[in-house]
Copies of this chain bind each other. A is one copy, B any other.
Amino acid sequence: MSATLEHMIKNCPVDNTFKIIGKKFTFHIVRNMAMRNQTRFNEFLGTIENINPKTLALRLKELEETGIIQRTVYDEIPIRIEYTLTKKGEDLQGIIDQMATFSMKHYPKTVFKDGKRRNYKQVFKRPVSVLH
């Protein structure tokens, strides 16, 4: 096998990562796990804008297959299933942080009731009541 530009591009590390989290809604699921501690199907379904059960089920399967999340079944009544980030999934935090940093710089319009701006970590630690 000889050195080709094509080969180089196929091995682009940015591309590898994009293949894992680049599909529609995939990153939103990860974000909701990492930043809002959501774990359940109906939580994602209720809070991720415009997602539908069909696509959500598919994305959760894909994320499990790529080792980003783990599916745990609790034999309760009614049944309870929890999705949690694996160690590998937690390593996506750096990307989440950089995405937030970009937004805070270029779209700093999220201003709160007390007139202050907060960084996203503060926002997600605080109760919803500080928001407009």
Chain A positions near chain B (C-beta within 8 angstroms)? 1-5, 7-18, 22, 24, 27-28, 31, 35, 47, 49, 88, 91-92, 94-107, 109-110, 113, 120, 123, 128-132
Contacts and interface: CB of A to CB of B under 8 A. Distances in A.
Question: Closest 3 A-B residue pairs measured CB to CB?
Answer: A13-B103, A17-B99, A16-B103
Contact of A131 (B8, B27, B100, B107): B8
A9 B107 contact: no
A17 B49 CA distance: 15
A52 to B, nearest CB: 17
Nearest to A5: B128
B106 A99 contact: no
A53 B126 CA distance: 46
A94 B102 contact: yes
Given A3-B130, A22-B27, A100 B9 contact: no
